[in-house]
Structure 1
Amino acid sequence: MDDTPLLVNRGGDERPEVENGDYTAVQSISEAATVFWIETVKLWKIATPLVFNIVCLYATNSLTNIFVGHLGELELSAISISVSVINTFAFGFLLGMGSALETLCGQAFGAGQVHMLGVYMQRSWIILLLSCLVLMPIYIFAAPLLKLLGQDHDVANLAGKFAILTIPSLFSLAINFPTQKFLQAQSKDAWTGFTWAAFKDIWAFVRLSVASAVMLCLEIWYMMSIMLLAGHLPNAVITVGSLSICMNVNGLQFMIFIGMNAAVSVRVSNELGLQHPRATKYSVYVAVFQSLIIGLLCMVLILVTRDYFSIIYTDSKELQQAVSKLAWLLGVTMVLNSIQPVISGVAVGGGWQATVANVNLACYYVFGLPLGYLLGYVADFGVMGIWGGMIAGTVLQTLILLFILYRTNWTKEVEESSSRMQKWGGQDISTHKVGDDI
């Protein structure tokens, strides 16, 4: 590719591009501002409906917590454990399994292989529906499982009853997630009907789905483990109740960045499929910067309202005071949550799931979780120690992934994307021209 800077005018839209549609290297502040604006529009055009959809999906659980919190402290703790442990476990697994489509559909669409999107979606439906059958016993035996994990018996029994009632939502997610990924990759529908091709190479598809699931689950389950550890502390009802309020608020903000995660994954995979290394890189930089700004604003909002926002969830003064003490940890978590999902979205778009899964495993479960345990139980800092140690794990993971992004050779990633499309059933795209079949 010719790296000579060139301004190509498309219908009066002057911007730094080379002839194949990719950007040239940014040479000035004005060019950087132009690229920033173009990428911002592209990112939020995809992210806005995704954020709205996933926040609405999460809000069903969030609103349940709000209503139940005013019934009593036991009810709030029980429903929070059910949602945060049982439902989040399944949610994370299915979302992760479905995230394989972000890599394949996004790159296939970018490469002009639109016909493959429907095949990928059908394969994912089959895999996720079978996964739901495997996950069902966790819902059915939620109460004894929670007791086995050391949770309060009254809390576990009530949480188990609630978990059984939520089984239908499990199967709805198996259809919902792949369909979302299929649509978001192209911002329209390219459905060509059911096909037996969905069963072709399904085991290889399972392997990519599992890699995606492991990567995302290690992130989502990490925060879930805070609730389990907190359940072993003295005065478990208040401890779990206050933590659940913080996690609920954190979850609402996290859903915004799950939408950003999906949007940046689409941008990265599309641009890789189109063989645009600089557009890929610039879209990543813009997404990370904007996410950090949003995270900082959320932290400020939480710290300003630290003595008041818990009133939405509970009438208990004791719970409100406990939440206020945890607010600064919530604020720090929100900043980290703004960057980390976006980087994971880049990983999904680029097909780096296995690499990120290994980083998550080391930072979260080898470093962060043991540190949280030591601070919480050995150093006797309680829930603040548990949460603080686990935040340290997230900080380490974020720094490592930022370093990986900084060292990434995007031209090489484009070449690997081309190989991936040939492997997964697309035609040879080495001669594909930008705009063909799109």
Structure 2
Amino acid sequence: MNSTWNRKHSICGFFSPILASKMDDETETNLLRHEEEEQGPLQQRIWHESQQIWRVALPCIISRVSSFGTILVTQSCIGHVSGIDLAGYALVQTLSVRFINGILLGMSSATETLCGQSFGAGQHHMMAIHLQRSWIVDFITLTILLPILIFGTQIFKLFGEEESIAESGGFISLWFIPYVYNYVFSLTIQMYLQAQLKNMIIAWLSVFQFIIHILLSLLYVYKLNLGVSGAMIALSVSSWFLVIGELVYIFGGWCPDSWKGFTIAAFKDLKPLVKLSISCGAMLCLQLWYYAVLVLLAGYMPNAEVAISAFSICLNINSWEFMISLGFFAASCVRVANELGRGNPKAVKFSIILVMGISTVIGAFFFVLCLVFRKNIAYLFTSDERVADAVSDLSLLLSLSILLNGIYPVLSGVAIGAGMQTTVAIVNLVCFYLIGVPLGALLGYLTPLQVKGIWMGMMGGVLAQTIALIYMIWRTNWDDEVKKASERLMRFYVKSDENVEQVFD
């Protein structure tokens, strides 16, 4: 018991006397359990850590695959309605919506860092405050970004897209407005719940959302013949089903330790959160916008309709598999944040190695699977033989990209868990925009490779980023990161007795 007492106070020393007084019996028990697990046999440690990883990764994979599946179902429905509308949808979804999603996902990842480290440090009451603060920041941010969707046609024409595709894209952009507002809640709630290992409910809700979306799409598009409008109505309705289910779960009392009701503390000290959110946003936006820039380049190719459609289909297949990688992205983020919050650098390093190994093996499996099916994949999204041939021509590069998906998302998750977003943002800027985009433009326009050349450039940027992140994480001193995590938590800390200033429960 003395060793546990010493261990407890060595960690609390990082957090100040306030946090030391907040350490309860449950936290002490957890510290003892972690201490015993670290000293156990390697096989036992691997088994325990694998359970922790899959406890976060599996629900996240299910939820993200299901949620992104709704995007692909909508694309498939629109693709069988009109080739022009398929290209217009591809522009909006890959450029405008990805642009907005990138900003909101990046801004929301501050919630992932803070909630994960707060949970590890035993500051459960702070998690709801972080969540409510993120809703305020994300809602204001999204409202500022709405002109991107409102003036979609004018923006696409400004970038030189064909008039028919730009007109279709502008029409579809307006339908995306009710859809994108679900991001304010769905992204942040998922990060809030997975930080406390309660994200299985999101997996179930996402599966139900996917089923509802398929049924609504069949009803609106094929039964009622509403075409593109019907597909977009189905997308918006199903996306808000997920949000409402998540809010019912939180408000219904299933998060008693972290949710105490709405509080005016959420409106205080927003500036530090905004600063962290901006650095998080820069990191992920630079990565997500990278693909959007490449789709824009594809739009200037000869026969732009086929080029955009084929590139977008391949990119969406890559993105759908990437949803699996995001499960391990979330697992690495949560595990790193939790262990840094507990003051346990050895557990951080062990978790990074294990989650990287699991993710790489799964990426290799899908690499082989994509090579086997090749051209057949395209017919899920289009009946145009020209587009299917173009997709088949890109299949090898698509497979290699999927293989890389098993590596670099985990590294990005480690960075977010540790709060290294600013450094990674610089890495992304250099690798994607000073290496990937110029290389893609060079190979796409100055060689006969065309769309394949653009994809090769994209892979070059991703490979450079992967190497840079591996080096950065290998060189990281995790003892120093524990100290930085404790300082960060103290900057955002609000005493639990301030929660009595609630607006309503």
How high is the TM-score relative to the length of structure 1? 0.90
Whether the 8 Å CA contact 1:22–1:279 is kept in 2: the answer is no
Tell me the CA shift for residue 307 of structure 1.
2.4
- Counterpart of 1:215 in structure 2 is 283
Structure 2 letter corresponding to 1:21: H
CA distance in 2, matches of 1:39, 1:320: 43
- Counterpart of 1:130 in structure 2 is 140
Whether 1:359 aligns to 2:427 is yes
CA distance in 2, matches of 1:347, 1:161: 38
Structure 2 letter corresponding to 1:95: L
Task: Return closer, same or farther for 1:390/1:22 CA change in 2, 3 Å cut-off.
Answer: farther
Whether the 8 Å CA contact 2:111–2:192 is kept in 1: the answer is yes
Q: How does 1:250-329 map to 2 (within 5 A)?
A: 250-329=318-397
CA distance in 2, matches of 1:36, 1:372: 41
CA distance in 2, matches of 1:404, 1:32: 26
Q: How does 1:6-17 map to 2 (within 5 A)?
A: none
Tell me the CA shift for residue 413 of structure 1.
1.2
Whether the 8 Å CA contact 1:77–1:237 is kept in 2: the answer is yes
- Counterpart of 1:42 in structure 2 is 52
Tell me the CA shift for residue 415 of structure 1.
1.6
Tell me the CA shift for residue 396 of structure 1.
0.7
Whether the 8 Å CA contact 2:115–2:127 is kept in 1: the answer is yes
Q: How does 1:174-213 map to 2 (within 5 A)?
A: 174-188=184-198, 189=255, 190-213=258-281
Structure 2 letter corresponding to 1:408: T
CA distance in 1, matches of 2:155, 2:70: 24
Tell me the CA shift for residue 323 of structure 1.
0.7
User: Gaps (5+ residues) in structure 1?
Assistant: 3-16, 428-438
Whether 1:86 aligns to 2:100 is no
Structure 2 letter corresponding to 1:410: W
- Counterpart of 1:416 in structure 2 is 484
Task: Return closer, same or farther for 1:22/1:154 CA change in 2, 3 Å cut-off.
Answer: farther
Task: Return closer, same or farther for 1:307/1:114 CA change in 2, 3 Å cut-off.
Answer: same
Selected match of 2:124 from 99, 114, 123: 114
Structure 1 letter corresponding to 2:34: G
The range that moved more, 414-423 or 356-365, is: 414-423
Selected match of 1:387 from 455, 458, 463: 455
CA distance in 2, matches of 1:288, 1:180: 22
Selected match of 1:21 from 16, 25, 34: 34
**1:30-79: CA deviation from partner (whole Å, max 9, x where unpaired):** 94433222211111111111222222221221101112222232222111
**1:71-114: CA deviation from partner (whole Å, max 9, x where unpaired):** 23222211111111111111111111111011111101100111
Tell me the CA shift for residue 20 of structure 1.
7.3
Tell me the CA shift for residue 379 of structure 1.
2.7
- Counterpart of 1:431 in structure 2 is none
Whether 1:248 aligns to 2:316 is yes
- Counterpart of 1:59 in structure 2 is 69
Q: How does 1:148-187 map to 2 (within 5 A)?
A: 148-187=158-197
- Counterpart of 1:144 in structure 2 is 154
Structure 2 letter corresponding to 1:47: A
- Counterpart of 1:7 in structure 2 is none
Tell me the CA shift for residue 19 of structure 1.
5.7
Tell me the CA shift for residue 286 of structure 1.
1.0
CA distance in 2, matches of 1:377, 1:169: 35
The range that moved more, 144-153 or 326-335, is: 144-153
Tell me the CA shift for residue 363 of structure 1.
0.4
User: Gaps (5+ residues) in structure 2?
Assistant: 4-29, 199-254, 496-505
Structure 1 letter corresponding to 2:82: G
Structure 2 letter corresponding to 1:386: I
Structure 2 letter corresponding to 1:256: I
The range that moved more, 40-49 or 67-76, is: 67-76
Structure 1 letter corresponding to 2:68: Y
Q: How does 1:217-232 map to 2 (within 5 A)?
A: 217-232=285-300
Q: How many residues align?
A: 410
Task: Return closer, same or farther for 1:20/1:421 CA change in 2, 3 Å cut-off.
Answer: farther
Structure 2 letter corresponding to 1:82: V
Task: Return closer, same or farther for 1:400/1:24 CA change in 2, 3 Å cut-off.
Answer: farther
Cα-Cα RMSD: 1.9
- Counterpart of 2:418 in structure 1 is 350
SS at match of 1:109: helix
Tell me the CA shift for residue 261 of structure 1.
1.2
Task: Return closer, same or farther for 1:376/1:270 CA change in 2, 3 Å cut-off.
Answer: same
CA distance in 2, matches of 1:236, 1:32: 55
Whether the 8 Å CA contact 1:113–1:426 is kept in 2: the answer is no
The range that moved more, 297-306 or 47-56, is: 47-56
Structure 1 letter corresponding to 2:471: F
CA distance in 1, matches of 2:166, 2:97: 14
Structure 2 letter corresponding to 1:122: Q
Structure 1 letter corresponding to 2:393: K
**1:168-226: CA deviation from partner (whole Å, max 9, x where unpaired):** 11211112222211111112421011111112210111010111111011111111211
Whether the 8 Å CA contact 1:22–1:278 is kept in 2: the answer is no
The range that moved more, 73-82 or 385-394, is: 73-82
